[in-house]
Amino acid sequence: MREFLDSIGYDRWILLALLALPTLAAIGIWVHGAVIGNDADARERGSGAARHIALWAFVLEFLLSTGLWWSFDASTAAMQATLVRDWIPSWGVRFALGIDGIALMMILLTTFLMPLAALGSWTSIRGKRHSYYSLLLLLTTGMLGVFMARDLFLFYVMWEMMLVPMYFIIGIWGGERRLYASIKFFVYTMIGSLLMLVAIVWLGIKAGGATPDFSYDAVLRAAAASGAGGVTMFGTFVPASVLMFLAFALAFAVKVPMFPFHTWLPDAHVEAPTAGSVILAGIMLKMGTYGFIRFALPLFPDAAMSPGIRTTFLVLGVIGVLYGALVAMVQPDFKKLVAYSSVSHLGFVMLGIFALTTQSVQGALMIMINHGISTGALFLLIGMIYERRHTREIEAYGGIARTVPLFAALLTFVSLSSIGLPGTNGFVGEFLVLLGSFRTAPWLTTIAATGVIFAAAYLLWAIQRILFNSLDKPVNEHIPDLNGREIAIMVPLVVVILWLGLYPAPVLRRMEASAEAFVSHVSAGAATSVARAP
Amino acid sequence: MLAEALFFSAVLFTIGVIGVLTRRNAIIVFMCVELMLNAVNLSFVAFSRAYGVAGQVFVFFVMTVAAAEAAVGLAIIISIFRHRQTVNLQNINLLKG
Amino acid sequence: MLLQHAAEAAAHPLAGSIAEWMWLLPLLPLAGFVINGLLSLVPATHLGPSDPDVGHGDANAHAAAHDAVAVSAHESDAHGGHGDDHHAVKRHRFAGLVSFVGPAVLAASFALALAIWIAMRGAGEMHAPFVQNYYSWMPAGEFDLTFGFHLDQLSMVMILVITGVGTLIHLFSVGYMREDPGYPRYFAYLNLFVAFMLVLVLGASYPVLFVGWEGVGLCSYLLIGFWFSEKANADAGKKAFIVNRIGDFGLLVAMFLLLANLGTLDFVGVNSAAAQLGFGSALVTAICLFMFLGCAGKSAQIPLYVWLPDAMAGPTPVSALIHAATMVTAGVYLIARSSALFALSPVASLTVAVVGALTALFAATIGLKQWDIKRVLAYSTVSQLGFMFIGVGVGAYVAGVFHLVTHAFFKALLFLGSGSVIHGMHAAYHATGRHDDAQDMRNMGGLARYMRVTWILMWIATLAIAGIPFFSGFFSKDEILGSVFARTHGTAFAEMSWLGIPGPIVLYAIYGIGIFTALLTAVYMTRMMLYTFHGPNRTGDGERDHLHEAPWIMTGPLLVLGVLSAFGGWLNLPELFGFLGPVGTLDHWLEPVVGENALRLTGGSPAHVEHGTEVALIGAAVAVSVVGILIAVVRLKPARLVPKAQAPAEEGLERVLLNKYFVDEAYDAAIVQPTVAVSRGVLARGVDQGLIDGALVNGSAWLARSVGRLGSSLQTGQVGSYAWVLVLGVLAVLGAFTLR
């Protein structure tokens, strides 16, 4: 496989191709929509084509990306498949792409989830299909760009680029309060990312000479030298690195979302259409934690690892774990419940990242993947039952395992993976995070470990009220079970859940070098700054 | 001589200001603005005697601008009158927030 | 490390033998799960139209929906825990295939286990476990967790019990569950359970054990809630899972502590490195206590025992397999498996024994007043588990495991016997169309006349659990109590104090509680037998004619278990009874696994009591058993009982016992309700919607809007007022400049 990929020069064009394909497909759909015109009949017939083009583009994208699995060299943490072109030379901005083990898995997660998200929208999106699927494709370019970018300016452009399609997806195809949710989502994210822009510009200018330089490596060097400067506020000296770290951290913390910046998430999840929720939970939340791993911590290790900041983030992570679980427990809306469960899961990720051991970081990365798979699957399942009953209220169901046994089996299975049952993917991540974090933060980890109890409580309680108990509402007696398309969506997810639960080693190995490099870089950076301090 | 001219200019300007502040009719307000401009012109001319010709040049600028302004301003007032049958400023509050 | 293991495995006497195939042990039931699971889903699936909207379905979908409704109506009427009732019986279309696959995979597994056992016996002395690492499971930095199996004498005992008793219970289930519409699903779960249970006992490291540990919890959850249309059943399943999770939390923390301090999690590594932790150190005590929290959850000990009685909501064979014979004994297995750790901490060990003793007594008192035949057995199980924990707690690991094995025999027999009774009762109610509680002993009575085989076999089990000489329970219980007594002198326990109480006094107290509990056990078990099988029949005049013995597929397994219950004691005869056969077989068998660790607690030489004392102890034990049975026979009057429907409400102490000391209610009021209330009231409404979303997020939006509105109200649109402001501004600036 490796030889074949080398022979076609796979590494040289793959990242660009992955970025270009969705955009081209989006343009294609848009042109198709323009060509068939506004005639109602033609639109009705033509809108079917939109989803087919999108689906096949996504499938092709996934197939293309799978080559990365084999072409990737797991033994090194260096960037691979790099591609660098000048973009805006006068500002020192380059179009620089490249992946390491962490980005690799995030990209594969994205390309894996997108076809399923498109299939999940198959029948639920009925209006303006052309716009919908082109936005979905543009969103993909943005998300992949975030994971590939090796230039901070490019990263920022991609970061904002994925915000806009998602804003429209929630705002146009969402539920009743879609406008409130979409504006909240947009403004929340924007506030964080503007501060990040300031920090990026500051870094770029500092890294460059006559013209700024935004390339990751140059910025990394410049940031390492930034510890000296700073400002005095309210009589205390605050190093520049702390301010810059906080600017980055706010942008990412909103995205994660970390307690207490999480309240956009439940609204956005509940109002978004199924595919929107899947992408939000499955991929976009990971950008926050990815940002911490790629930018916030490596750029400012001394700030991030200073006792005050580190403890704050660890504590917020643990609060997120428990708070998310407890609030999830009492949600009457199943989508909201899953949204809060995301807060809980991502709390584990934050704990793992800031605990800073190889195991905990690897575990955090595993949870990022697992959460994408399991929560994505949960949202897809909720979407399926919503299409049948048009409600997400838990109390509206009850006993439907009788009428939809296959749905019930899948929902139970996916819930168990979300709870972290050993043998499913959820366990591997949580176990590694807790195991690794225990070495550096034993007490907080012990508290976080009680999250496994609450996780079982909220999800089992919810599925009991949905699937089990007596079938006492007549309207639930005639729900049809999953059809072929829906089974086709779920089968890959189930397979991946089991695979990652039973044999996660290939995934872990591909991330291992990058995770170790991350840990050693950050701890070394923190150590030198301690040595430098008076 | 300068002091008297400036005093007269100040009086003229104050009359203009009071007119702008107190009158309701747009035409009168407009004429009071002209009064203020001319008060300034007077100061310019007076100063030009002491400090050179630049002041007189400015007066020409101001007069030209005032003429253009008068044309545009009157046109606006006329079009407002056509629309609203009044030039009372209290009735014209399109900019109210 | 890996290479070293490989080398050890290669040199191992079992290398190249059939034991190499041990991975097949859990895989066979797993295959059964896959087959039965697919069978349970396939007929229910329909490939409908691509549009799933309700009402757009075609005829096929409607047919399927009606089908499902028929099923639901059928099962929601089912009550008292048995699937058949008065509708036309709807047997699953693949019932025949399932009846074969379900038990066959277990039988195959059992056959393989036997073959491995024979190979082990043939291999001679085996001092190291036979470890096979299959693949790298979680490689992360220097921590590389491999998925491997670990076969030693202890696992072998467990495997034989699980697959052996499991096969019998699967066969019984064929008769018991055949008419249930969820038949393939039932066998799928049951097969999956056995697979996970085997992973639990075969796992070569704590995390692999944990896979089985949580997996059996999952199957327990699914099987307790098997008839999920009743809220109570679904509640019971959920309760079991969540309470177990509390225990699992303890086990997780124990694992973290182990890894952080020993750097390894596989049993071989931990056992060899355990001594580094230091004898009696706080660390090893903490590890053991956290681990015991896990055991208390899984094995239903105080304070986490509450789920087990509720677990009786599941089908009766499930109660026999999971909640009596195998899963609930996993805690005992874990302590025996971790004996190297527990032997380092006399404090933790004694805590285990004390909790075991208290649980044994507590559950036995509740068992005295239960009317539901399965609940009596459930509390009896909790109580007997307490005995096992006394055994492993005082470092008599073999005694604990011995009781585990004999308990698996006689308690499985008791549960299956009660299943046979319930089956008969149900059939009777079914025949006449009456709805009544088929599990309440007040509705039974005199069943001995109708169910001869069940009656005789259950008496055997009762005598075994009561501790009547020469039945299996007598030997195992006696060994535990004897071990407690023997450790009062010259052992690590004798020299320590526990919560300020001198060790010997604690041990004497445990012994006293044990003897008293044995008395209670004899009483409540005899009570159950008297009320169920003796005296007049209270089932009802019409129903009486329909009472009958269960079919051979159910009585057959009972018969085998009866033989095992009667003669199971021969596994480990004490020296005193050396005239009956070989002495201490199990002792010798388990010697390589736990022998050294047991000695560590007893001060180097086996704890011993004088010959005369031993005879006296046995005499006392036998005496309380006989007295207990006599008390029940003399004091209880089955003739005075009235059927459940006419029975008066209990009062006073009886009511407290019947309601299990109101512990469930107390937990609910003290833990569950406050958690939910705080989550809803304070966290969700107060912090989330109120503080963060209300005050901060929407508050800042409100602030921006208000400032804007305030500013816009200054814009009157009056040119005059703008001019005034302008002039005032000019004056202010001029004034400021002039007055400066």
Query: Inter-chain contact C716–B92, Cβ cutoff 8 Å?
Result: no
pLDDT at C691: 85
Determine phi and psi for B30, rounding to 5 degrees.
-60, -45
A477 and C72 within 8 Å at the Cβ level: the answer is yes
**Confidence class of residue C90 from pLDDT cuts 50, 70 and 90?**
low
How high is the pLDDT of residue A508? 92
Determine contact, residues A21/A61, Cβ cutoff 8 Å: yes
Residue A405, preceding bond cis, omega within 30 degrees?
Answer: no
User: With contacts defined as CB-CB under 8 Å, which chain B residues touch C713?
Assistant: 97
Which among C715, C723, C727 has CB closest to B95?
C715
Residue A430 contacts C, CB cutoff 8 Å: no
Complex-level ipTM: 0.91
Q: What is the pLDDT of residue C77?
A: 36
Residue with tokens 């807790």: A434
Q: What confidence tens digit (pLDDT) does each residue in A450-481 have? A: 998 999 999 999 999 999 988 888 888 888 88
When scoring A411, A453, A514 by the number of chain C Cβ atoms within 10 A, the one with the most, hence best to mutate, is A453
Whole-model pTM over 0.90 = no
Say what the pLDDT of residue C52 is: 38
User: How far C366 CA lies from chain A's nearest CA (Å)?
Assistant: 28
Q: Single out the residue of C451, C559, C667, C497 nearest to residue C168, CA to CA.
A: C559
Q: What confidence tens digit (pLDDT) does each residue in C606-632 have?
A: 777 788 888 898 999 999 999 999 999
* pLDDT reading at A65 higher than 90: yes
Distance CA C299, CA C220 (A): 12
Tens-digit pLDDT profile for residues C620-670: 999 999 999 999 999 888 877 888 777 777 777 777 777 788 888 888 888
Mark yes or no for CB contact B21/C714 under 8 Å.
no
Q: What's the pLDDT score for residue C696?
A: 85
Q: Is the pLDDT of residue B74 over 80?
A: yes
State whether C259 and A435 contact (CB < 8 Å): yes
Min mean pLDDT across A381-390, C111-120, C129-138, C680-689 is at: C680-689
Look at A503 and C137 and tell me if their CB atoms are within 8 Å.
yes
Q: CB–CB of A470 and C68 under 8 A?
A: no
**Are the Cβ atoms of C718 and B93 closer than 8 angstroms?**
yes
pLDDT tens profile C674-715: 888 888 888 888 888 888 888 888 888 899 899 988 888 888
The sign of the CA dihedral A283, A289, A294, A295 is positive
Cα–Cα distance, A452 to A344 (Å, whole number): 10
Interval A404-414: pLDDT, tens:
889 999 999 99
> Which of residues A235 and C282 earns the better pLDDT score?
C282
pLDDT, position C195: 95
Contacts of B22 in chain C (CB under 8 A): 720
Residue C263 has pLDDT above 80, yes or no: yes
Quick check: helix, strand or coil at residue A81?
strand
Give residue C401's pLDDT: 94
Asked if pLDDT for residue C255 goes beyond 60, the answer is yes
Of the residues C2, C138, C193, C310, the best mutation for testing chain A's interface (the one with the most A CB atoms within 10 Å of its CB) is C138
Listed by number, the residues of chain A in 110-129 with a beta carbon closer than 8 Å to a beta carbon of chain C are 122-123
Give the span between the Cα atoms of C289 and C32, in whole angstroms.
37
| B25 DSSP 8-state letter | B
pLDDT band at B2 (very low <50, low <70, confident <90, very high): confident
CA distance C466 to C473: 7
**When comparing pLDDT for C576 and A430, which is higher?**
A430
- Express each pLDDT in C724-733 by its tens digit: 888 899 999 9
Chain B stretch 6-25, residues whose beta carbon is closer than 8 A to a beta carbon of chain C: 17, 20-22, 24
**Chain C residues touching chain B at CB-CB below 8 Å:** 711-720, 723-724, 727
Is residue C59 predicted with pLDDT exceeding 50? no
Q: What is the pLDDT of residue A36?
A: 79
Average pLDDT over every residue of A95-120: 93
Q: Residue A222: which pLDDT band, with cuts at 50, 70 and 90?
A: confident
Give the model confidence (pLDDT) of C388-420 as tens digits.
999 999 989 999 999 999 999 999 999 999 999
pLDDT level of residue C51 (50, 70, 90 thresholds) = very low
The answer on pLDDT for A321 being more than 60 is yes
pLDDT of residue C528: 92
Judging contacts by C-beta atoms under 8 Å, the chain B residues touching residue C725 are none
Output C609 or C190, whichever has higher pLDDT. C190
Structure tokens of C324? 């009596």
Mean pLDDT of all residues belonging to chain C: 85
* Most confident of the ranges A226-240, A284-298, C123-137: A284-298
pLDDT (mean) for C175-192: 89
Q: Tens digits of per-residue pLDDT, C496-510?
A: 888 888 888 999 999
Q: Looking at residue C84, what is its pLDDT?
A: 37
Residue A108 has pLDDT above 70, yes or no: yes
Q: Which chains touch A (3 or more CB pairs under 8 A)?
A: C
Counting DSSP H helices and E strands in chain B, the numbers are 3, 0
What would the pLDDT profile of A267-283 be if each residue is shown by its tens digit?
999 999 999 999 999 99
CA distance A458 to A495: 25
Q: Are the Cβ atoms of C72 and A403 closer than 8 angstroms?
A: yes
Residues 6+ apart with CB under 8 A from B80: B26, B87, B92
Supply the pLDDT for residue C341. 92
Across the interface, whether the CB atoms of B94 and C720 are under 8 A apart is answered no
* The pLDDT value given to residue A226: 60
CA distance C78 to C69: 14
Chain A from 481 to 500: CB within 8 A of any C CB:
481-487
Looking at the complex, report in whole angstroms how far the Cα of residue A501 sits from the nearest Cα belonging to chain C. Answer: 9
For A:194-213, CB contacts with C below 8 A are none
- Please report, rounded to a whole number, the percentage of residues in chain A having pLDDT higher than 90: 59
Question: How confident is the model over C425-454, as a mean pLDDT?
Answer: 86
How many A×C Cβ pairs under 8 Å? 223
Q: What is the mean pLDDT of residues C316-322?
A: 91
Given the structure tokens 């330089």, which residue do they identify?
A: A213
Instruction: Find, in chain A, the residue whose alpha carbon is nearest to that of C264.
Output: A435
Pick among C134, C283, C679, C693 to test the A interface (most A CBs inside 10 A): C679
Q: Which structure tokens are listed for A34?
A: 């323009």
Q: How far is B83 from chain C (nearest CA, A)?
A: 17
Tell whether B31 lies on the interface with C, counting CB pairs under 8 A: no
Direct distance between the N- and C-terminal alpha carbons of chain A, in angstroms, rounded to an integer: 55
**Mean pLDDT, range A6-29, rounded to an integer:** 90
Residue of C nearest to A181 (CA): C698
**Chains in contact with chain C (at least 3 beta-carbon pairs closer than 8 A):** A, B
pLDDT tens digits for C530-550? 999 988 888 878 888 888 888
User: What average pLDDT does range C422-449 have in this prediction?
Assistant: 86
pLDDT at A236: 77
- Residue A38's pLDDT band (boundaries 50, 70, 90)? low
Q: How many helices (H) and strands (E) does chain A have?
A: 23, 4
Higher pLDDT, C310 or B93: C310
Give yes or no for residue C63 having a pLDDT over 70: no
Q: Do B90 and C720 touch (CB under 8 A)?
A: yes
Output the CA–CA distances (angstroms, integers) from residue C492 to C334, C337, C511, in the order listed: 22, 20, 17
CA distance from start to end of chain B = 48
Place of tokens 């428990």: A322
pLDDT number for residue A225: 73
At residue A261, the 3 state secondary structure works out as: coil
Residue C42 confidence (pLDDT): 67
Angle between helices C153-177 and C95-122 (to 10 degrees): 160
The whole-angstrom separation of Cα A62 and Cα A111 is 5
Chain B, nearest residue to C711 by Cα: B97
pLDDT of amino acid C405: 94
